[in-house]
Structure 1
Amino acid sequence: MFEKTAAVFLYAISPVHMGAGQAIDIIDNPIQRERHTRHPSFAGSGIKGAVRHSYEALGGQKKDIDRLLGPDSSSAELHAGAISFGDAQLVALPIRSLKGGYVYATCPQALARAQRLLNLGGSATNWPALNVGEGSSLLANPALLSGDKLHLEAFEYTAKASEPLAAIAADLATKALPDTAAYAFFRDKLKTDLIVLSDTDFGYFAEHATLVEPHVRINAETGTADDGGLFYTENLPPESLLIAPLMASQTRTGKAENHLPAEAVFSQIKTLIDARLLQIGGDATTGRGLVIAKVEG
């Protein structure tokens, strides 16, 4: 039974390829998506595996890996880990904008789910409900408008300023990004350039506004492209924001000398990953999968 729950934000600073493992469309290597929303997601097992892989590089001690995260399946002393990461859900997606370069787009559904995880993790969050119809949008920054229209990619939306959204954006920016000079620009932009679309309109961008890159398989002997070696890989774009539940229990090794209460377990993992850079997903050698973690709770 998990005794301590928090939320962890994951902010992409490079393209991220958390692979789905199967292709059902023209994209050969698609990213993971939720079945019911089609929003991009990160499997909790992938997040936990990334933390385990980087544990010592992040400053943790090797002796703590098994008792906190659980031993390898081949271990002779199997026991459950004391830390669990849930699947990460999409909060905001960067969308190209006519004004301001790009905006952070979200929707009422994504905000409500993020608020639910924050509250479950003990971070008191009372964001007001926002209503927006299809073809319309809410924003906090009038400078993004052309007249009374907001232009995203090739689409035009009727837009109006929203004071409740401005309050949500300020709170989200404070919670989701580290309070350091390196992220000051992005905290400020998230505060001003968060926009809300309807669940339907946001769903379109969540499925069609990702990065899709062509790759060519090279023949090792000839140094030229193999016949039929063209394939397409999907990535979540940088500046995407997701949130996942983080849960901790007391250690369950069965050994008194290894025992840690849930509060101590949570403190160790928070110290290890909070405001730290993680690499998750595939294509690490090409600079993919870099995310900054921010623990809230």
Structure 2
Amino acid sequence: MFEQHAAVFLYAVSPVHMGAGQAIGVIDNPIQRERHTRHPCFAGSGIKGAVRHAWEALGGDQAHIGRLFGPESGSPSLHAGAVSFGDAQTVLLPIRSIKGGYVYATCPTAIERARRLLTLINIKPQWPALPAVAEGQCLLANPALLSGEKLHLEAFEYTARVSQELPKLAEDLASRALPDGEAYAFFRDKLKTDLVVLSDTDFAYFSEHATLVEPHVRINDKTGTADDGGLFYTENLPPESLLVAPLLASQTRTGNGKDNELPAEAVMAQVKTVIDGKLLQLGGDATTGRGLVVAKIVEGPNHG
């Protein structure tokens, strides 16, 4: 049983390609999405694998990899790992705006799912309840983003309502989700002012159609030139996106006797020390600088 509970926010600082492994549309290499919302997501197994792979490089003790994450395939010692990452769900997406460059867009469903996750680990964010948002309308905190009374995102125009409550949510989210330090001060401040709440329908549209889609060509190893018919398209989650995932820890279970096991508190402490505020690489295309995310861990109280 997992005794320690936390949430890990993942803030993209480069395009991220967590591949879906199959294509049913015009994009050859789409990203992972939830079936019911179509929001981008990261499989928990992919997050765990990336953390395991980078553990030693991030300063973790190599001797603890097996007991924390489980033994390697084919190992004579079989036991479950003590760390579990759940699937990461979308909280914010950057959407191009006529004013301000871009906004951090979200929707009531995304916010309430994040609130639910934090509440389940006994963190109760003091976020105001969001009113219903109709299609073609939005809530925002920063009137400077408006052209007249309208907000323009990509090629779309929205009737905007300035919310006096939204800055409270934005400030709390910025402090929880982004690391401390001068390097992230601009983005924390922008999130506090430029958070926009769209309807669930409009946000779902941007979730599918406002990602990065890049053409690539397959190079022939012998000629060094593009293969005929070698054009393909790869989708990436854009930088400045924010997702959140559950992080769970239990006592290690190596079977080597109680004296050699780590309690759940020590397991969680190790994971937090190694990855909190650190740069991780998730998904594919690592050699082209894809998949860079910053992790921020928010812990819940102990569970006995």
> Does 1:143 find its partner at 2:144?
yes
- How big is each residue's C-alpha offset from its partner over 1:114-161, in whole Å with a ceiling of 9 and x where there is no partner? 111111223221322212111100001111011110000000000011
Contact 1:6/1:120 (<8 A) preserved:
no
Contact 1:115/1:126 (<8 A) preserved:
no
What corresponds to 1:127 in structure 2?
127
> Does 1:274 find its partner at 2:249?
no
Distance 1:226 1:98 in 2: 39
Contact 1:69/1:81 (<8 A) preserved:
yes
- How big is each residue's C-alpha offset from its partner over 1:201-248, in whole Å with a ceiling of 9 and x where there is no partner? 000000100000000011111221101100000000000000000000
For 1:71-220, what aligned pairs fall within 5 Å after superposition? 71-130=71-130, 131-220=132-221
Contact 1:6/1:122 (<8 A) preserved:
no
The percentage of counterpart residues that share the same residue type is 76
What corresponds to 2:59 in structure 1?
59
Contact 2:128/2:168 (<8 A) preserved:
no
What corresponds to 1:242 in structure 2?
243
Q: Which runs of 5+ in 2 are unaligned?
A: 300-304
Choose the corresponding residue for 1:291, options 282, 293, 299: 293
- SS of the equivalent of 2:42 reads coil
- SS of the equivalent of 1:103 reads strand
The one-letter code sitting in structure 2 at the alignment partner of 1:219 is N
- SS of the equivalent of 2:41 reads coil
Q: With structure 1 as the length reference, what TM-score do the two structures score?
A: 0.99
The one-letter code sitting in structure 1 at the alignment partner of 2:138 is S
Query: More displaced, 234-243 or 157-166?
Result: 157-166
Contact 2:15/2:292 (<8 A) preserved:
yes
What's the offset of the Cα at 1:73? 2.1
The one-letter code sitting in structure 2 at the alignment partner of 1:182 is A
Distance 1:115 1:34 in 2: 18
> Does 1:8 find its partner at 2:8?
yes
Distance 1:190 1:258 in 2: 45
- SS of the equivalent of 2:234 reads strand
- How big is each residue's C-alpha offset from its partner over 1:182-207, in whole Å with a ceiling of 9 and x where there is no partner? 00000000111010000000000001
Contact 1:135/1:158 (<8 A) preserved:
yes
What's the offset of the Cα at 1:258? 2.8
Distance 1:109 1:126 in 2: 17
What is the RMSD computed on CA atoms of the aligned residues?
Answer: 0.8
Query: More displaced, 149-158 or 128-137?
Result: 128-137
- How big is each residue's C-alpha offset from its partner over 1:13-54, in whole Å with a ceiling of 9 and x where there is no partner? 000000000110010000000000000000000000000000
Query: More displaced, 76-85 or 128-137?
Result: 128-137
What's the offset of the Cα at 1:81? 0.4
- SS of the equivalent of 1:163 reads coil
Contact 2:10/2:296 (<8 A) preserved:
yes
Contact 2:107/2:199 (<8 A) preserved:
yes
The one-letter code sitting in structure 2 at the alignment partner of 1:153 is E
Contact 2:89/2:243 (<8 A) preserved:
yes
Q: Which runs of 5+ in 1 are unaligned?
A: none
The one-letter code sitting in structure 2 at the alignment partner of 1:74 is G
- How big is each residue's C-alpha offset from its partner over 1:42-93, in whole Å with a ceiling of 9 and x where there is no partner? 0000000000000000000111100011111211111000000000000000
